Amino acid sequence: MTRRALTLAEVNTLSGPEFVTHFGGVLEYSPQYAERAAAQRPFHTVEDVATAFSTAVQADDPEAQRRLIRAHPDLAGKAALAGELTAESTHEQASAGLDRLTPEEYAEFHRLNAAYHEKFDFPYVVCVRENTRDSIFEGARRRLAHTPDEEQRAALHEIGRIARLRVLDLIAEGGEA
């Protein structure tokens, strides 16, 4: 999370490995998407960079997409409590106050996470930076009514939102080409 934001010109001149090093955390434990995004250069806008990640995910097969969803941690789950999240996820969960839940709220997240894994075989994924603690809880309860296909689409949509914000964090403002 403490990487220096690069200009768009710098992003366009990174070697493939340097691009992956800089953007490898955009999609949770899935640097292969950074490799695919790098191949779409040159980028003309910051939004082009975010779109390159989205395009790479959407072009992948459904099972690979499910692996990407499964790579995301449970919100306020065991990994968070044990300090085992990526720097990006730690910062994002803290921004929504998920690191400061009451014991009752932790218990509810545990129940919701278990229900998600039981029904969908992957975690509840939401762009926490664009939500409040209350809307995250409400969204989890509401989305449990989805079919597996609907929830996979919803999770991928949220991953796209997460990725976009992470890309914006890594590129300096005014970084248009």
* Active site members: 72
Q: Measured between alpha carbons, how far is 148 from 22 in angstroms, rounded to an integer?
A: 33
Write the CA distances from 171 to 10, 53, 82, 168, integer angstroms.
9, 14, 30, 5
Element (H, E) at 33: helix 32-38
Q: Measured between alpha carbons, how far is 17 from 114 in angstroms, rounded to an integer?
A: 37
Q: Measured between alpha carbons, how far is 20 from 3 in angstroms, rounded to an integer?
A: 13
Tell me the Ramachandran region of residue 147: left when phi exceeds 0, alpha when psi lies from -120 to 50, beta otherwise.
beta
Q: Measured between alpha carbons, how far is 53 from 73 in angstroms, rounded to an integer?
A: 19
